[in-house]
Structure 1
C-alpha cells in the first residue's frame, strides 16, 4: 500500500475524529463499498464482512431487490408523517403481521425506539388491562442485557460504561440472572406488580450467550401463569439470523421446525429492527395481538418517520428476500459447519477456549482476560487477512456474516480465521 493510499484512510479517520463525537471505537478500516458478503475499503481492498452491521445486513450488502424497492419508493413518495394516510403503510402492516403471525404492528425506526415502545405498551397494558396501580408496574429484565442506550434502557443495564454519569435513572425494573428460571419464578411469585419480562433469546452484545434449551419455553409458561407479558427483543436475533425466522420462533418460515433445538415460544410482544430493512434504511417494529396493542390510542405514542412509505417498501422487500432465498435454512446449515470446524481447531489449541452460538450468530472466547487486548489484536490481524470482525467484552469475538453467504465462502472464512488464530499461538 502506497503512502498516498494510506493517507486516504487516515484522512477519513482524522476527519471523523475531529468533527464527530467519540462515542464509538471503530476498527481502523475505512469502508466505501459493499456487495453481498463483501465490503471494500477506500484503497480498494476487499474483505469478508463477518459482522453484518450487528446483524442488520442479513440479506447482504446492497441487495438489489431491497435497493430497488427503496429507490423506486423514494422517487414516488418518501414521507407524509402520520398526519395523513399513505398507500404503503397498511400494506406493510398487514404483510408483516401475517408474516410473524400477530394481529397488529406499531412501526418505528430504530431498535432502541422499538424497545422503548414495547416498554410503554407493557406499562399501559398493566394499568388498563391487568389492573396494577398507576405508576407501580415493574418489568423484569436480565443482567448483562443489551437493549439500546436510551436513558430508560441504560437504567436497567449493568454496563458501567453505558451508565456512568448518565443518571438519575428510571425506576420500575427488576434485574435477574439470565438463563435462571428459578430467579424468574421467585420474582413472579413474590411481586404482584410485575407487568412484563423483557428478554433477548440469545444475549448477543454480552458475548452470544445461548440459554438452556428449555429456558424460553419455561419462562413463557411462568409469564402466562402470572398474567405477565413475555417481551422478546429480537432486534439482533430475529429475521433468520439464528437459523430460524425468529430465535423464539413461534411462527417459523423455514421448513425444518426443529432446526436449532429451541422450543417454539410465541412472545406476547415481539421487537424487531436491524435486518427488518436488510440494513438499507432504519426500520423497526413492535408486534402484538389486539388485546395488548389496543392500549395504544391517538396521541399516546408516535414518530414522524415511523411507518413512512420508504420504510414500508424496504421492509416488505427485505422480508421477501428472507423467504425467497431460504436464509433461515442457510444460516442453520452454515452455522453447524462453522461451529464444527471451529471446535475441531479448538481441540488442538489453547488460544481459544470455546465457540458458541446458533445459526450464523456465533462467538469465540479467547483464552485471556477481559482487560487484555488480545481479541482486538486478533481482529486487526483478521482485517489484514481480509476478514472484518469486532471484539465484544474484551476477550470475545463475535462472528455474524450475511446470511447470503455460500458454503464455499464460509469455508474460506473459516480458513482465514483459523490461520489468524494460529498466528497468536
Structure 2
C-alpha cells in the first residue's frame, strides 16, 4: 500500500509547494511515520490523506530550515496555518492521480537518461534507493548520490509540476517513453546479477506504461510501446528452465507463453497499425506479434521480420536494431547472407568497437559461424562474449554454447 500511495502523496506536495527535491524527502518522512504508527494504531480510513497531512507538516519543517528560500518559507507558513485551522479544511485532499505529471517531471530534459530512469523508479515507481541500486549493479550510496543530484538539477532548472506545453510536449513524451522502454529492457534481461530478469522492473514499466496509455489513448507510439511490452512479457515464462537456465526463442515451449497478454498486445497494435504512420515502438511490437503468431519456430515468417527490421533501422539506426536485422536475415535467407550483412555493417559502423554492443556482436557472429559449420570459430567467440556480460545466467548460456560446439 505504501508503495502505491507514495507517488500520489509526492504529487500532492509538489503540486502545492513546487519543490520536488524537498517534497521527496517529506514523503519519505511520512512513509517512515506510517511504518511506525500503522502497525500499532491500525491503517487509517483514508491512508492517502493521512500521509499527505504528515507530509505537509514535514514539508513545512524542511522549508523553514531552508533560510535561503524566504519566499518558500512564507508559502510553507500559510500551508501550516491551513493545516492548523480545521475550518479551512473542506475535507481530505482530492484523490488526484499525479503519476503522469510526476513521470513527465522526472523525464525533464535537464536530466541525463540515467538520471531520468533512476528518478522515475524512485518517485513514480516507489522503489527504494537500495532496490534501484541493485537493479543497476551499483552501491546504494552511489545511487543515492545520483538521485540527489538529479533532484538538485531539477531545482536549478526551475522545473515545475505543470503539464508540458505545446512546445515541449513531444520532447517530454519521447523522453518518458524512452525511460519506460529502458526500465522494461533492464528488467527483461538484467545487466548484472544471478537472475536473467528483474520482474519488479518489468512489472513497474508495464504499470507506468498502462497509466501513460490511459492518459493518452490516441497516441500511436504510446500504444505501440505498451503492445511491445505485453507481447514481450508474454514469452517470459518460457525463457528459463527449471534451473534458471536461459532458453532461446527457437527452443521455448510456446504453450507456456501467456495467451492473454498476447491477445491484449495484438489488439492494441491492431488499433494503431492501420494508421500507416508506424513509429519505432509500433514496429518492434509488430515484430513481436509475428513471433507470437507463429505456432512453431519453423513457421515463423522470418522474411517479414527482416523487412520490419529494415524499416525499423531506417527510423532508428542503432546497433541493437542492426544486429537484430542480421539475425532475421540469417534466419530468412541463410547464415551466409547474415554473415555478409554483419561484415558490411561492421565495416561501415564499427559495431565490434562499440563497448555497449560488442558482447552481442560476438554472440551473434558466433551463432552464425556455428550455423555455417565453423565450430572452432564459434566456440572462441562464444567464450569472448561470455567474458563481457555481467549477467550470470546469460554467461552460463554462452559458455554452454561454446562447450557444445567444441
Band the TM-score falls in, shorter-chain normalisation: under 0.3
- Bigger radius of gyration, 1 or 2? 2
More RCO (CA 8 Å, sep 6+): 1
TM-score of the superposed pair, with normalisation by structure 2: 0.24
Going by fraction, where is strand more abundant, 1 or 2? 1
